[in-house]
Amino acid sequence: MADDWGQLVELVREGSHMIIVLKPGTRDADIEDVCRRIEALGLRAHVSRGEQRTIIGAIGDDRFKMRLQALEALECVESMVPILQPFKLASREVHPADTVVQVDGVLIGGTRLAVMAGPCSVESLEQLQTVAEGVKAGGAHILRGGAFKPRTSPYAFQGLEEEGLQLLAEARKRTGLPIVTEVLGPDKVELVAEYADIVQIGARNAQNFSLLKEVGQCGKPVLLKRGMATTIKEFLLSAEYVLAGGNANVMLCERGIRTFETTTRFTLDLNAVPVIKKLSHLPVIVDPSHGTGHWEYVGPMAKAGIACGADGLLIEVHHKPAEALSDGPQSLKPDKFARLMAELRVLAQALGRTL
Amino acid sequence: MADDWGQLVELVREGSHMIIVLKPGTRDADIEDVCRRIEALGLRAHVSRGEQRTIIGAIGDDRFKMRLQALEALECVESMVPILQPFKLASREVHPADTVVQVDGVLIGGTRLAVMAGPCSVESLEQLQTVAEGVKAGGAHILRGGAFKPRTSPYAFQGLEEEGLQLLAEARKRTGLPIVTEVLGPDKVELVAEYADIVQIGARNAQNFSLLKEVGQCGKPVLLKRGMATTIKEFLLSAEYVLAGGNANVMLCERGIRTFETTTRFTLDLNAVPVIKKLSHLPVIVDPSHGTGHWEYVGPMAKAGIACGADGLLIEVHHKPAEALSDGPQSLKPDKFARLMAELRVLAQALGRTL
Amino acid sequence: MADDWGQLVELVREGSHMIIVLKPGTRDADIEDVCRRIEALGLRAHVSRGEQRTIIGAIGDDRFKMRLQALEALECVESMVPILQPFKLASREVHPADTVVQVDGVLIGGTRLAVMAGPCSVESLEQLQTVAEGVKAGGAHILRGGAFKPRTSPYAFQGLEEEGLQLLAEARKRTGLPIVTEVLGPDKVELVAEYADIVQIGARNAQNFSLLKEVGQCGKPVLLKRGMATTIKEFLLSAEYVLAGGNANVMLCERGIRTFETTTRFTLDLNAVPVIKKLSHLPVIVDPSHGTGHWEYVGPMAKAGIACGADGLLIEVHHKPAEALSDGPQSLKPDKFARLMAELRVLAQALGRTL
Amino acid sequence: MADDWGQLVELVREGSHMIIVLKPGTRDADIEDVCRRIEALGLRAHVSRGEQRTIIGAIGDDRFKMRLQALEALECVESMVPILQPFKLASREVHPADTVVQVDGVLIGGTRLAVMAGPCSVESLEQLQTVAEGVKAGGAHILRGGAFKPRTSPYAFQGLEEEGLQLLAEARKRTGLPIVTEVLGPDKVELVAEYADIVQIGARNAQNFSLLKEVGQCGKPVLLKRGMATTIKEFLLSAEYVLAGGNANVMLCERGIRTFETTTRFTLDLNAVPVIKKLSHLPVIVDPSHGTGHWEYVGPMAKAGIACGADGLLIEVHHKPAEALSDGPQSLKPDKFARLMAELRVLAQALGRTL
């Protein structure tokens, strides 16, 4: 698939309106014939020869797209994919198979569910280490923790910054868990990518296009959170920025949208899970901690997230929630986290997955 | 509990700020002593003697509530419940145990999940009968079907009205399934209650207080749907209208709220399930058909609804969705419904419930 | 226009897809020719002869609508109106001229702005009379006051009911101001219409279709409030229910929608004013009192409402807001109301209107 | 005021809970006395001596704030300002007088209204020059134009970047109009600030805290747009980031929020104007072009914005909207813009302002 992906990126970037997939082993003469026919319709043909097969993009005026359909009748054409959705690389239309992101041995997007857990903010070595061991004991696969914190108020704790990244690296060394942590600005992408196994883009930066372009080239998998007023289609277009930058390892995270309801901090929109699964091949992670804002709702909504098809969860855990520097009310204690994991394991099995 | 419920309704209606529950067997002299103390604080005492125990409501100026707390020290007082939430009869504070509604042998609100299924609109005897047999075969417990339809446009099909109710009664006779159907106006409550086993209040009438008052006295269990802009607290206050009318058999149905997202017809707000379960003792039903508006999302969201704690589901089923007079796109065919029920049975077991 | 209106109602009710307006003085032979041509396309023709002109509705399968267009070439055809919007009688397409509603000498929808003011609830003769005289002195044209109150909580003051209507009638007698008051259920429409000059449908009943059907036949002008989650198109469809019932005197009232913002009680959506003015011929009233929920925002938003094209305002006034039984925080005192009216008069002139 | 502002920034940054303003001419002995009393309460005193007066911040544990109130009794104390709102420098509580931002001779925030107009994107010298001359002729005070464009899709036109900035500078030279243009990332702030007279932060970056910190130090006035899901309080906290960076010249721009309504592109929330005016001293600009998304609603909503108290408008103008590379549907043609300006001039006068 690696080839095809590179080929697709190239064709879509060129602005193709139609992707024509040729059968394996198509001869050069036939390829040239297809190109001539495309050009006869007033369009340009862009040939991309991969190891497995050749793909041709037809580029030009949208109005001729319908007449292109006739090429499907040619012997050498396997399939034709009109590029209709505004998101292309993110769409299941272009890439039917589920993407599985691999992070240091952990697979995200396959049958096994992935759980990322840890404190909202990295506060100290002692705090991070305690929580990291707690979530590992509970069965988490990846350690989360914020070093750069996006805070609504400039007077709130802004994170330990690079020191926080170093503490995360230390925790990874001690526990063996890969780490996911957030980056706030394009100038810090290189720094964060140096430490992190997964680079997170937060909800408030879901349409920070400078940042999205930058993480498209950072070489590390990206966990992209949905903005609180981002439609699902806009969310996939934000993913498209990262994908178009050449980074195929994008995970989408539903973390709650803004609605009129105030008993929960946000409205975790689980409908997004099956909708994204239909429209896109990218893995979907659910964050019930930010989505609800209250620890007692984390368990029920984590279960619901798995039940409707999410590939993983992002859960905030703190050993002393009442003393947390951020988001204490929505953090689970390690023992509660472990009990939830036990329940999720039973649930996963009933759903034909593993945890 | 029946007594206590009646007593509570009476006390709350009187406007009590504090409910004082006396120990079983409290002597009259002690009851009078408590009353004297309440009155000495400038409040009125309302005594309600039930079969099991005596409850006293302290009525009057809210400012003295704090001084009342001292009465808890009396030997004869078992507990004191300050009435703080705007909803009272609906609150778990006043009624800690889960309410279980009984409909013709089906229990709703206990460990067994209840599934209500059927067509959006009753269209004909043949249609209703086919679908009713289909959902029964799939394992549904209750048959749904609309005879009076709330339609956005005055030019859309408005339902078969009383003829539809008669067809529902006929379908109940043939299948043995109890029926739930919607009532649109207070003048039709008596008619609908005559035929229906459960009277449904639709989302657009969630704050139609004339109608809520009327169903409070209809003698049949009520399925109350959340309005598309109704907060959870307002939703519980709407339930309070029915409860205060003397009807204790209320079920709350989450069916989607209005948000900016348009890939789904509404945003099914599953967060409401654990939130309501915390605040209230009433059973919660999830309607993934209206909540999402697309049949392919019904399965995932039905599973999610069960996973986060709902007591039942409301699912639209039609044997020919493409010909349905309303809501075809969100209706499952009977065979898809049966397969979903099979999956839900496995899931229920993993969650410690049965279906 | 009166004839045309009745004709239109009839044609739209019949389900016409195309309205063909003939030139004045068209001969019978030409009318019959048009009908034959319509029937030749597989459609039915419905002829409606008014005093001023004859209108023909083409009824039947939508697919033939395009071929109908050719009839526009006939000498006797003045115009053809395809019925595309789901709302028809409410649409400017069908009824290009602004509707002006006449209420006891007050015109609503013309160049003169109409101000309806008064207390949220009718509380007593003394209260209503004081406020009524205050708003009259300030220059209000119509007196508002609630006798039946839709309250979120069943324990809140529900209004004086018929006694309130009698007090309103008394206030009308003393001040000469026509009155607008709300009706909550279809069974009270006759009673309210007997007393009121304008019957109001509240936001929570914007999609209470039983009630809309009933006020369609009440013979009094209707002030229809937008629901807090009602889209503008749905709002016009709710108006369509009243219009289709034969009541042409409908005024639309924007009073705030539900959004995530909480510094205002609702989000008064003034964008709705120019949008409705484009789509519909019905007068638009703005209610800045309910829309914002705070008296200090009423003045600025009243001015803004007028500036973007509203035909009138609905403003809550109370002489002792701190003692009001409902909505005190959003009520202006009579002297503040009078000052606002003076400012609005200057503003109206700058906008080419009068007050 | 310049002194006081610097002093306030310093005190608030230090974390003061109470600002104690001393009378002009207070002697050193009295200043020391106040400090001793503050310290006796377990708090630190931070003295800031300005040219006009001395201000003392009391810093420390919030619990002692109430006891501080007693200091108000001292002869030398003029007033005491508890710092309660999460936003401080942005609040009217701390800074009662309206802020007037001065941009190259144009005053924004005083009685004179300021209009910023121009194309969405800078496309070419010819386009920009034509539009710039058009808006100048119409009476605009500031030229807007985007060189870096935040586009939902990575495949859409992303702006001319630095070349666009050069074209803006050229247009400024020719027309004499100051320019406002958007910056997308912290790494471009220096570049944009070099060319722009006002640096704009777009709606999608309203909570891009890296960028907000950077523009806090750019030395140019900042036009900060409200995010589409940003509450007014969060919006003021975003302004606080810029103010706390030492940049006092912040203008707030309402440009529409996300709601369920789809007839307009966003829901321009004019309620925000009087709400912000009450809570903050910063100038408020309204953008009816982005707020509604349709040119025919720009005029009515521009008028409404002015009527409810905005200090200025941001309006998109293009000489060939149908060929615009972005936002054509919401752009006015220069002649329509000129007519609107003429109407706004009459309106401004009626409101006691000038244009």
Residues C54-92: tens digit of each pLDDT: 888 887 665 555 667 778 778 888 877 766 567 788 988
Average pLDDT estimate for A178-193: 97
Where does residue B30 rank: exposed (0-12), middle (13-18), buried (19+ CB within 10 A)?
Answer: middle
C-alpha A71 chain-centroid distance = 35
Query: What does the DSSP 8-state code read for residue D10?
Result: H
Q: CA-CA distance, C215 to A299, in Å (whole number)?
A: 49
pLDDT of residue C3: 47
C-alpha B120 chain-centroid distance = 19
What residues in chain A have their Cβ under 8 A from chain D's Cβ atoms? 12, 15, 86-88, 150-155, 184-188, 204-205, 207-211, 213, 227-229, 234, 237, 240-241, 244, 257-258
Amino acid at site C105: G
pLDDT of residue D154: 85
How far apart are the CA of D160 and the nearest CA of chain C, in angstroms? Answer: 33
pLDDT band at B63 (very low <50, low <70, confident <90, very high): low
Residue C285 has pLDDT above 80, yes or no: yes
Torsion angle of alpha carbons C152, C153, C157, C162, nearest 10°?
A: 60
Question: What is the DSSP code string of B154-182?
Answer: TTS----THHHHHHHHHHHHHH---EEEE
* Closest C-alpha to A196, from A249, A151, A241, A235: A249
The verdict on a CB contact (< 8 Å) between A264 and B271 is yes
Q: CA-CA distance, A301 to B220, in Å (whole number)?
A: 32
pLDDT band at B9 (very low <50, low <70, confident <90, very high): low
Residue C289 has pLDDT above 50, yes or no: yes
Report how far apart, in Å, the C-alpha atoms of A180 and of each of A193, A200, C266, D44 are. Answer: 10, 6, 39, 40
Percent of residues in chain A assigned helix, strand, coil, to nearest 5: 40, 20, 40
Looking at the DSSP bridge assignments, the partners of residue C118 are C316
Residue C312 near residue C114, CB atoms below 8 Å: yes
Residue D134 has pLDDT above 80, yes or no: yes
Residue A64 has pLDDT above 60, yes or no: no
Amino acid at site A285: I
Average pLDDT estimate for D8-34: 80
Q: Which residue among C273, C279, C346 sits closest to D300, beta carbon to beta carbon?
A: C273
Residue C348 has pLDDT above 80, yes or no: yes
pLDDT of residue D112: 97
pLDDT band at D6 (very low <50, low <70, confident <90, very high): low
Task: Indicate the average pLDDT of chain C.
Answer: 90
Give the helix/strand (H/E) hosting C127. Answer: helix C125-138
- Phi–psi pair at C61, nearest 5 degrees: -65, 125
Chain A hits for D184, CB-CB cut-off 8 Å, are 208-210
pLDDT of residue C17: 67
ipTM over 0.90: no
* Closest C-alpha to A310, from A255, A229, A230, A231: A255
Average pLDDT estimate for D299-312: 98
Task: Mention every residue, 6+ apart, whose C-beta is less than 8 A from residue A126.
Answer: none
Report how far apart, in Å, the C-alpha atoms of C127 and of each of B318, C134, C145, D57 are. Answer: 57, 11, 11, 49
| Structure confidence by residue, pLDDT tens digits, C247-279 | 999 999 999 999 999 999 999 999 999 999 999
pLDDT of residue C9: 66
Residue D260 has pLDDT above 80, yes or no: yes
Q: CA-CA distance, A309 to B299, in Å (whole number)?
A: 10
Chain A hits for B301, CB-CB cut-off 8 Å, are 270-271, 274, 308
| Structure confidence by residue, pLDDT tens digits, C117-166 | 999 999 999 999 999 999 999 999 999 999 999 988 887 788 999 999 99
Q: What is the pTM of this model?
A: 0.86
How far apart are the CA of A251 and the nearest CA of chain C, in angstroms? Answer: 27
Q: CA-CA distance, D283 to D263, in Å (whole number)?
A: 29
pLDDT of residue B3: 47
pLDDT, greater one: D164 or C77: D164
Average pLDDT estimate for B38-60: 80
Residue D171 near residue D135, CB atoms below 8 Å: no
What residues in chain A have their Cβ under 8 A from chain B's Cβ atoms? 229, 231-233, 257, 259-264, 267-275, 278-279, 291-292, 296-297, 300-301, 303-309, 346-347, 349-351
